[in-house]
Amino acid sequence: QEIFFENSDGRIVLIFPFVEGRVMVGTTDIKIDDPDDAVCTEEEIDYFFDLVAKVFPAIALDRSRIVYRFSGVRPLPASDANSTGQISRDHENRVLKPGGR
């Protein structure tokens, strides 16, 4: 089972069972300009702890419980949207044959 919700800042949040009784907490909406800069920062960890505390106030967490953290990159099409969460994920690539058909 998974918990999926939109936080008050518009970011999508996922909390779900992972490996060996552990839980993964994450989101996918931080804009970066250079893929090499993609890291899970200390500020992001604080953000996740705050989210878990709101949803599960009886669960006490601290950094000693973290066994792994990562950040990935998902390219999105160019957009004038105010946040990455507002950018459509519905897009397609068309392959044209020689002659434009």
Q: Supply the pTM of this predicted model.
A: 0.71
Q: What is the pLDDT of residue 28?
A: 66
Comparing 10 with 58, which gets the higher pLDDT? 58
The pLDDT mean for the chain works out to 85
Q: How many CA atoms lie within 13 A of 41 on its CB side?
A: 7
CB 51 within 8 A of CB 43: no
Band of the pLDDT at 20, cuts 50, 70, 90?
Answer: confident
- How large is the average pLDDT for residues 55-84? 85
- Tens of pLDDT, residues 37-57: 889 989 999 999 998 998 899
Q: What is the pLDDT of residue 57?
A: 94
Q: Return the domain boundaries, the chain.
A: 3-72
